[in-house]
Amino acid sequence: MTTAPTPLKQTPLNAAHRRLGARMVDFGGWDMPVQYPAGTVEEHLRTRRHCGLFDVSHMGEIEVRGTDAIPFVNRLCSNDVTKLANGQAHYTALTTPEGTVVDDLLVYRFAEDHLLLVVNASTTEKDWDWINAHRGDETVKLANRSADFCQIAVQGPDALAILQTLTETPLSEIKYYHFREGAVDGVPAIISRTGYTGEDGFEVYAAPERAEQLWNRILEAGGHGTTEGILSCGLAARNTLRLESAMALYGHEIDETTTLYEANLGWICKLNKGDFTGRERLAQQKAEGVKQKLVGFEVTDRGIARDGYPVLINGEPLGRVTSGSPAPFLKKNIGLAYVPVEHANEGQEIHIEVRGRPVAARIVPVPFYKRERKTSQ
Amino acid sequence: MADIPDDLHYSKDHEWIRVEGDTGTVGITDHAQNQLGDIVYVELPRVGDSLEAGGVFGQVESVKAANDLYSPVSGEVTELNETLNDDPEQVNKDPYGAAWMLRLRLKDAGEVDKLMNAAEYEDYTKKITE
């Protein structure tokens, strides 16, 4: 194995993963579980059918406090923070003046003068620097709180019932993309009805020194070790679950070279909310139309598309795969790709160049997978 | 602990070869399948292809990634395990048996002596997983 120049960062659950027999990998400088002995396919399916437990403590948390917290974040991000109520969260992007993406993130509103930005692990420092560099005359106090939280995601149709056994907070009352401050197994926690799997579920934020307690108690409550119980899941399953749900992954579908409209993220681009970084370019792109667009595709021939593979249209290399993988629940080989907008139509036949060989594929609607929503959500 | 049969030879790329006369049967090791995780796709060469020792002869893909398969010795492919097309998961279940990948006619029997025996391969896998 390669020796890293700097030691890998560890989440507070590192020892717990090793005890469960996880295979650990370097993920953007973090020593993270890629899969446990059950394997990626089982972890993925268990999350779809019952419940999966994920350590996402590597995610960054940036706190914004002060009377101008909302106008400040609204100026740096594309979604409209003024629309959030206390106890509500939304998906948004930190944008560049070109309308491309510094990072995608969740913004939690605790109070009018208190927001929490939850950002990607590998971009936490970049975001922190960016946000600080773009301070204006607003009255805000910024704090990088990344080391103060563990984050555990409980995802799947059984997530609510499992987590409910450990908390007095009435979970069914928390609407999708809302959160409450409460306690899980007596541990003070932020309980958020969010996730990155396409399933119903919760993300629990708590003090890192209580991470193992929470992790073990949730596994126990969920019947870990039984065939229909909760299962600990690694980053590989997290990736296939989000891909089936066609959710963007920073560094793949979105980065500082792709705009929100190209990435089908126009829904978090609120041009009428007032000025924000990149607004002008995004408005221009919306008016003129994009040149390339992110689409979903299904491989129809034998072969698996992978990140970075060229997309051929009528034999010409005109696009690239941003994420490609077998989809364990759908039992298809799927992917997301950028293609010229004139070819970005459902049903369009394309080829993916797999190690020099063109493999047939077809553009299909996204998300590839959509759960059936119950009325309470 | 990974299973490492005594009667096989092993390459540093985690392929095994069973030698019978001038024929070699090739597959990947238990350690390799374990590291790769769920195998979902195996791509093999064609019968008649000439393989070089250390050269890529195909691909084994897990959910996570595509990985090159390296030939432990040189030779001409004489037979392929076509059942892996439909049942690639055999590689996880029976890497030394049902999931053999190809047979080849050895070009130079001396190449086999450069490979590791079971004890050497066991030491090798211990070292790289430390």
Complete domains list, chain B, with CATH:
9-129 (2.40.50.100)
The proportion of chain A whose per-residue pLDDT surpasses 70, expressed as a percent, equals 98
Q: What average pLDDT does range B13-22 have in this prediction?
A: 96
The fold for domain A60-147 equals Alpha-Beta Plaits (3.30.70)
Q: What average pLDDT does range A106-124 have in this prediction?
A: 98
Res. A375 pLDDT band, cuts 50 70 90: low
Q: What average pLDDT does range A10-36 have in this prediction?
A: 96
Asked if B37's CB is within 8 angstroms of A39's CB, the reply is: yes
Residues in CB range of B20: below 8 A, 6 or more apart: none
Give tens-digit pLDDT for A299-338: 999 999 999 999 999 999 999 999 999 999 999 999 999 9
Asked if A1's CB is within 8 angstroms of B128's CB, the reply is: yes
Dihedral sign computed on CA atoms, order A199, A329, A104, A312: negative
pLDDT of residue A376: 47
Query: What ipTM goes with this model?
Result: 0.86
Asked if A40's CB is within 8 angstroms of B64's CB, the reply is: yes
Question: Is residue A3 scored above 70 in pLDDT?
Answer: no
Domain boundaries along the sequence of chain A: 14-57+149-244, 60-147, 291-364
| Cβ atoms < 10 Å from Cβ of A19 | 11
- Max distance between CA atoms of chain B, in angstroms, equals 40
pLDDT of residue B129: 73
Question: Is residue A377 scored above 80 in pLDDT?
Answer: no
- Taking CB atoms and an 8 Å cut-off, how many pairs form between chains A and B? 40
The proportion of chain B whose per-residue pLDDT surpasses 70, expressed as a percent, equals 98
d(CA A336, CA A369): 13
Nearest chain A residue to B35, by CA = A23
Phi/psi of residue A287, each to 5°?
Answer: -70, -45
Q: What average pLDDT does range A57-80 have in this prediction?
A: 98
Question: Is residue A217 scored above 60 in pLDDT?
Answer: yes
Name the packing angle between helices A40-49 and A235-244 (round to 10°). 50
Would you call B66 an interface residue with chain A, using a CB distance cutoff of 8 Å?
A: yes
The proportion of chain A whose per-residue pLDDT surpasses 90, expressed as a percent, equals 97
Give tens-digit pLDDT for B65-89: 999 999 999 999 999 999 999 999 9
Asked if A34's CB is within 8 angstroms of B41's CB, the reply is: no
Give tens-digit pLDDT for A230-255: 999 999 999 999 999 999 999 999 99
Q: What average pLDDT does range A149-153 have in this prediction?
A: 98
Question: Is residue A40 scored above 60 in pLDDT?
Answer: yes
Between A1 and B7, the more confident residue is B7
| Yes or no: domain A14-57+149-244 corresponds to CATH 1.10.443.10 | no
Between B2 and A109, the more confident residue is A109
Give tens-digit pLDDT for A87-111: 999 999 999 999 999 999 999 999 9
A352's enclosing H/E stretch is strand A349-354
Concatenate the DSSP letters of all residues of A27-74 into one string: ETTEEEEEE-TT-HHHHHHHHHHS-EEEE-TTSEEEEEESTTHHHHHH
Q: What average pLDDT does range A346-358 have in this prediction?
A: 97
pLDDT of residue B33: 95
Residues of A near B (Cβ–Cβ under 8 Å) read: 1, 23, 34-35, 39-41, 44, 236, 239-240, 302-304, 306, 325-326, 328, 355
Which candidate, A250, A252, A264, A269, places its Cα nearest to that of A363? Answer: A264
pLDDT of residue A5: 67
Residues 68-127 of B with CB under 8 A from A: 85
Q: What average pLDDT does range B17-29 have in this prediction?
A: 97
CATH number of this structure's domain A291-364, picked from the four choices 1.10.1740.10, 2.40.30.10, 2.40.30.110, 2.30.30.110: 2.40.30.110
Shortest CA gap A326–chain B (Å): 6
Per-residue exposure over A259-298, b if at least 16 CB sit within 10 Å of its own CB, e if not: bbbbbbbbebbbbebeebbbbebbeebbeeebebbbbbbb
Calculate the dihedral angle through the C-alpha atoms of A219, A222, A225, A227, rounding to the nearest 10 degrees.
-150
Nearest chain A residue to B68, by CA = A355
